[in-house]
Structure 1
Amino acid sequence: MMLAYASRTGTRRNLAALRAAGWRLMISARGALRTEGFRYALDNGAWTAFQRGEPFDTAAFERAVARLGPDADWIVVPDIVMGGLASLRFSRRWLHRLRQRRALRETTFLIAVQNDMEPRHVRRLVGPRTGIFVGGNTPWKLTTMAMWARLAHDHGAICHVGRVNSARRIRLCAAAGADSFDGSGVSRFASALPPLDLARRQPDIEAWLAAGR
């Protein structure tokens, strides 16, 4: 069963529902750096910057890594949303820097793959401590995530899919072989959790057929 991460929320009702369902939190470097007592992963904040038309906030990311990085399930290496190979070059530089830090020696990092990237571009980076975060736009994500999951697993790594907010997409992620996904819908509305968690626990045959299995 895939691990599920929800965008961090401070709403007690929603947190209680997430805790009961066994979900974890996705903490953004651009948000409140509070784990609410959950296990969590650390996002780099690039998506928020992209939505606001702002440059990547290095200072915010550095603060988040210093405070929450060592205990995170994994950290998304800084990337450029929809940036293609320029994003990969940016991520490679950051990955090198992060790997040098003593406090992060046991940390798992995820490289965000974007439109125009292919397995040959990232294969040498992937391993037990460096997995794949499937970003990019929605059509590209859904078309390629099974490929990225295979690449990650072939190298002993994990594959996570970002921005998954419907039961259908959760089932498609399961069919693709993803290890985890994240979404924001359940953080805003506790009533959205039951059908999404059911999809996580009981992926159906429709998704397997859609994935060509």
Structure 2
Amino acid sequence: MRPPLYLTPPSTDPIRKHIRADRLGAITSPGQGNLLEDGWTFCIDNGCFGGSYPGDKEYLELLKKLRPLREWCLFAVAPDVPGNHFRTWERSRDMLPRIRDLGFPAAYAAQDLMDLDPWDIEDEYDVLFIAGTDEFKLSVAAANLAGYAIDLGKWVHMGRVNSFKRYQYAATIGCDSVDGTTLTRGPDRNLRDVLSWRKSIARQDSLFLPEVRDFFDHSYLSIPRQRLAPQPAAVEAVPFPQHALF
């Protein structure tokens, strides 16, 4: 089993050293400020989850500036609405082809309730970015969406991976890459741990990885459907849980 590539802001010299050696990948987003180098494997996040999305025009301008590096870019994430697939699709549908037109693989952020209608948008994106609430991210629905994307030959990425258990879960459902804030919160303290996650998965035979069902918190399946129903256009986002399951 190939361990997922961990993507992180290139904020320190030791992190940049490991990115150059392909032991880590880089992630950038609007307003981040860290420079990227030729040959770095990286992705471009949109900043919506943290509330720093600058707008479609400004985001496309950022992509234009990064076009000389596009051959090393895994994906650029179309704008999304955290926790709501229906609002995310409305926000992403026009931006996905514009991202592709600039030469970047376009990533769609899978949010809660995407499992209700994943089939008719499969040709609109190149990368499935598993986002959404923790309940959704750890659900059978998200695992099935990942498997479906893999069957279609798409790259699969998971966000907010900040523990070995979450990293192990991402590997188990077949994610190619992940990102998180572990190295942002403590780059010197946590770098060795994050590098050890990859080594640990690389040493494990897939037969000895935990069953996917061992990770699932099934509360997503009992969430009332009206909680994340499509919202009026004036509503920017649904409330997003701040807790983490692990």
Q: What interval of TM-score do these two structures reach, taking the shorter chain for normalisation?
A: 0.7 to 0.9
Counterpart of 1:160?
157
Structure 1 length normalisation: TM-score? 0.82
Amino acid at match of 2:49: W
Equivalent residue, structure 1, for 2:143: 146
User: 1:136 Cα deviation (Å)?
Assistant: 0.6
What corresponds to 1:201 in structure 2?
A: 199
Alignment of 1:12-161 (within 5 A): 12-20=13-21, 22-32=23-33, 34-37=35-38, 38-49=40-51, 57-69=55-67, 70-71=70-71, 72-99=73-100, 101=101, 103-104=102-103, 107-118=104-115, 121-127=117-123, 130-143=126-139, 144-161=141-158
- Cα separation, 2, equivalents of 1:157 and 1:64: 24
Shift of 1:56: 5.2
Change (3 A) 1:133 1:21: same
Unaligned runs of 5+ in 1: none
AA aligned to 2:137 is K
Alpha-carbon RMSD: 2.7
| Structure 2 portions without partners, runs of 5+ | 216-246
Query: What letter corresponds to residue 46 of structure 1 in structure 2?
Result: C
Cα-to-partner distance string for 1:172-195 (whole Å, 9 max, x where unaligned): 111111111111212442331223
Q: TM-score, normalised by structure 2?
A: 0.72
Shift of 1:134: 0.4
Cα distance change, pair 177–128 in 1 and its aligned pair in 2 (3 A): farther
Aligned-partner residue type, residue 189 of structure 1: P
Moved more, 149-158 or 56-65: 56-65
Identity of aligned residues (%): 22
Cα distance, 1:59 vs structure 2: 3.8
Determine the C-alpha separation between the residues in 1 that align with 2:50 and 2:99.
Answer: 21
Matched-pair contact (CA < 8 Å) for 1:44–1:78: yes
Partner of 1:32, secondary structure, is coil
Aligned residues of 2:7 and 2:177 also touching (Cα < 8 A): no
Task: Provide, for residues 11-36 of structure 1, a one-character-per-residue CA deviation record: whole Å limited to 9, x for no partner.
Answer: 22332345456111011123226214
Bigger radius of gyration: 2
Q: Which amino acid aligns with 2:164?
A: A
Q: Distance in 2 between matches of 1:132 and 1:44?
A: 14
**C-alpha separation in 1, matches of 2:99 and 2:124:** 16
Aligned to 2:175: 178
1:130 counterpart letter in structure 2: D
> Do 1:131 and 1:158's aligned partners in 2 also have CA atoms closer than 8 Å?
yes
